Amino acid sequence: MINGVLFVCHANLCRSPMAEYAARRLLAGRPVTVASAGTDAVEGLAMHPYAVEIAAETGEDPAAFRSRRLLPDHLTDAVLVLTATRRQRSICTALAPAALHRTFTLRQFGRLAAAVEPPVEDQDDPLQSAVTAAALARGRLQPAPGDADDLRDPVGGTPEDFRRCAAEIERSLRPLAALIGTAG
Protein backbone atom coordinates (compact mmCIF):
# COMPACT_ATOMS: atom_id res chain seq x y z
CA MET A 1 0.00 0.00 0.00
CA ILE A 2 2.55 2.63 1.05
CA ASN A 3 6.10 1.24 0.80
CA GLY A 4 7.33 4.44 2.45
CA VAL A 5 6.87 6.20 5.78
CA LEU A 6 3.82 5.49 7.93
CA PHE A 7 2.99 7.90 10.75
CA VAL A 8 0.92 6.52 13.62
CA CYS A 9 -0.86 8.26 16.48
CA HIS A 10 -3.95 7.51 18.56
CA ALA A 11 -6.91 8.77 16.49
CA ASN A 12 -5.24 9.85 13.22
CA LEU A 13 -6.75 13.32 13.60
CA CYS A 14 -3.91 15.53 14.85
CA ARG A 15 -0.29 14.36 15.19
CA SER A 16 0.02 11.73 12.47
CA PRO A 17 -1.83 13.78 9.82
CA MET A 18 0.28 16.86 10.63
CA ALA A 19 3.39 14.66 10.34
CA GLU A 20 2.15 13.18 7.05
CA TYR A 21 1.66 16.62 5.50
CA ALA A 22 4.93 18.00 6.89
CA ALA A 23 6.82 14.97 5.56
CA ARG A 24 5.31 15.39 2.11
CA ARG A 25 6.63 18.95 2.05
CA LEU A 26 10.08 18.10 3.48
CA LEU A 27 10.53 15.04 1.26
CA ALA A 28 9.16 16.59 -1.94
CA GLY A 29 11.18 15.43 -4.91
CA ARG A 30 12.41 12.34 -3.06
CA PRO A 31 11.23 8.83 -3.95
CA VAL A 32 9.34 8.49 -0.66
CA THR A 33 5.62 8.06 -0.07
CA VAL A 34 3.92 8.94 3.21
CA ALA A 35 0.68 7.96 4.91
CA SER A 36 -0.82 7.92 8.39
CA ALA A 37 -3.13 5.86 10.58
CA GLY A 38 -4.33 5.69 14.17
CA THR A 39 -4.18 2.84 16.65
CA ASP A 40 -7.70 3.73 17.86
CA ALA A 41 -8.94 5.72 14.88
CA VAL A 42 -12.53 5.84 13.77
CA GLU A 43 -12.49 5.40 10.00
CA GLY A 44 -13.40 8.36 7.82
CA LEU A 45 -13.25 11.36 10.15
CA ALA A 46 -11.92 14.73 9.02
CA MET A 47 -8.71 16.07 10.50
CA HIS A 48 -8.98 18.25 13.61
CA PRO A 49 -9.68 21.87 12.54
CA TYR A 50 -6.47 23.23 14.10
CA ALA A 51 -4.46 20.47 12.39
CA VAL A 52 -6.18 21.37 9.10
CA GLU A 53 -4.85 24.94 9.40
CA ILE A 54 -1.31 23.67 9.93
CA ALA A 55 -1.51 21.02 7.19
CA ALA A 56 -2.84 23.61 4.73
CA GLU A 57 0.37 25.62 5.26
CA THR A 58 2.26 22.83 3.44
CA GLY A 59 0.56 23.92 0.22
CA GLU A 60 -1.70 20.87 0.02
CA ASP A 61 -5.43 20.91 0.63
CA PRO A 62 -6.18 18.68 3.65
CA ALA A 63 -9.96 18.86 3.13
CA ALA A 64 -10.07 15.38 1.60
CA PHE A 65 -8.09 13.77 4.46
CA ARG A 66 -9.95 11.01 6.31
CA SER A 67 -8.76 9.09 9.33
CA ARG A 68 -7.72 5.44 9.01
CA ARG A 69 -7.55 2.73 11.63
CA LEU A 70 -4.15 1.04 11.79
CA LEU A 71 -4.04 -2.44 10.27
CA PRO A 72 -1.19 -4.97 10.34
CA ASP A 73 -0.83 -4.63 6.54
CA HIS A 74 -0.08 -0.92 6.93
CA LEU A 75 2.87 -1.85 9.13
CA THR A 76 4.20 -4.67 6.97
CA ASP A 77 3.98 -2.53 3.83
CA ALA A 78 5.88 0.44 5.33
CA VAL A 79 9.65 0.83 5.08
CA LEU A 80 9.60 3.09 8.16
CA VAL A 81 6.96 3.39 10.89
CA LEU A 82 7.09 6.54 13.03
CA THR A 83 4.77 6.74 16.03
CA ALA A 84 3.78 9.64 18.24
CA THR A 85 4.44 7.75 21.50
CA ARG A 86 6.26 4.75 22.91
CA ARG A 87 2.89 3.15 23.67
CA GLN A 88 1.90 3.38 20.01
CA ARG A 89 5.27 1.96 19.00
CA SER A 90 4.53 -1.03 21.26
CA ILE A 91 1.09 -1.47 19.70
CA CYS A 92 2.62 -1.41 16.22
CA THR A 93 5.24 -4.01 17.03
CA ALA A 94 2.63 -6.23 18.69
CA LEU A 95 0.43 -6.02 15.57
CA ALA A 96 3.34 -6.72 13.21
CA PRO A 97 6.41 -8.11 15.03
CA ALA A 98 8.37 -8.14 11.75
CA ALA A 99 8.22 -4.32 11.78
CA LEU A 100 10.17 -4.07 15.06
CA HIS A 101 13.50 -2.96 13.57
CA ARG A 102 11.88 -0.25 11.43
CA THR A 103 9.46 1.13 14.01
CA PHE A 104 10.49 4.14 16.08
CA THR A 105 8.86 7.06 17.78
CA LEU A 106 9.13 10.15 15.62
CA ARG A 107 11.27 11.97 18.17
CA GLN A 108 13.50 8.91 18.67
CA PHE A 109 14.10 8.54 14.94
CA GLY A 110 14.87 12.24 14.59
CA ARG A 111 17.49 11.97 17.33
CA LEU A 112 19.01 8.82 15.78
CA ALA A 113 19.00 10.22 12.24
CA ALA A 114 20.79 13.34 13.48
CA ALA A 115 23.49 11.20 15.09
CA VAL A 116 24.35 8.80 12.26
CA GLU A 117 26.94 9.10 9.59
CA PRO A 118 25.41 9.56 6.13
CA PRO A 119 26.01 6.67 3.72
CA VAL A 120 29.21 7.15 1.73
CA GLU A 121 27.71 6.11 -1.60
CA ASP A 122 24.44 6.51 -3.44
CA GLN A 123 21.91 3.88 -2.48
CA ASP A 124 19.13 2.40 -4.58
CA ASP A 125 16.66 3.04 -1.76
CA PRO A 126 17.58 6.13 0.27
CA LEU A 127 14.73 5.59 2.75
CA GLN A 128 15.83 2.02 3.47
CA SER A 129 19.41 3.27 3.90
CA ALA A 130 18.23 5.87 6.42
CA VAL A 131 16.24 3.25 8.36
CA THR A 132 19.20 0.86 8.44
CA ALA A 133 21.55 3.61 9.66
CA ALA A 134 19.13 4.69 12.41
CA ALA A 135 18.49 1.09 13.50
CA LEU A 136 22.23 0.56 13.90
CA ALA A 137 22.54 3.79 15.87
CA ARG A 138 19.71 2.70 18.20
CA GLY A 139 22.07 0.14 19.72
CA ARG A 140 24.93 2.62 20.18
CA LEU A 141 23.15 5.63 21.68
CA GLN A 142 21.80 5.98 25.18
CA PRO A 143 18.03 5.75 25.37
CA ALA A 144 16.15 8.95 26.11
CA PRO A 145 14.90 9.38 29.66
CA GLY A 146 11.24 8.85 30.57
CA ASP A 147 8.73 10.12 28.05
CA ALA A 148 11.26 12.24 26.10
CA ASP A 149 10.44 10.23 22.97
CA ASP A 150 6.69 10.90 23.24
CA LEU A 151 5.06 13.63 21.19
CA ARG A 152 2.45 15.32 23.33
CA ASP A 153 -1.11 15.11 21.99
CA PRO A 154 -2.47 18.62 21.36
CA VAL A 155 -6.12 17.49 21.18
CA GLY A 156 -8.23 19.56 23.53
CA GLY A 157 -5.60 22.30 23.46
CA THR A 158 -5.29 25.71 21.87
CA PRO A 159 -4.14 26.54 18.36
CA GLU A 160 -0.78 27.37 19.94
CA ASP A 161 -0.57 23.83 21.38
CA PHE A 162 -1.04 22.51 17.85
CA ARG A 163 1.66 24.89 16.56
CA ARG A 164 4.09 23.66 19.22
CA CYS A 165 3.32 20.07 18.28
CA ALA A 166 3.79 20.83 14.57
CA ALA A 167 7.13 22.53 15.32
CA GLU A 168 8.31 19.44 17.23
CA ILE A 169 7.22 17.23 14.32
CA GLU A 170 9.19 19.42 11.93
CA ARG A 171 12.29 19.32 14.18
CA SER A 172 12.07 15.55 14.29
CA LEU A 173 11.57 15.17 10.53
CA ARG A 174 14.42 17.44 9.39
CA PRO A 175 17.17 14.88 10.22
CA LEU A 176 15.25 12.21 8.29
CA ALA A 177 14.98 14.47 5.26
CA ALA A 178 18.69 15.29 5.50
CA LEU A 179 19.66 11.63 5.84
CA ILE A 180 17.52 10.62 2.86
CA GLY A 181 19.04 13.49 0.91
CA THR A 182 22.57 12.22 1.53
CA ALA A 183 21.63 8.60 0.82
CA GLY A 184 20.02 9.30 -2.53
Which residues are part of the catalytic machinery? 9, 15, 125
Measured CA to CA, the distance from residue 124 to residue 31 in angstroms comes to 10
Measured CA to CA, the distance from residue 112 to residue 116 in angstroms comes to 6
For the chain, the C-alpha Rg in angstroms (whole number) is: 15
Any idea how long the chain is? 184
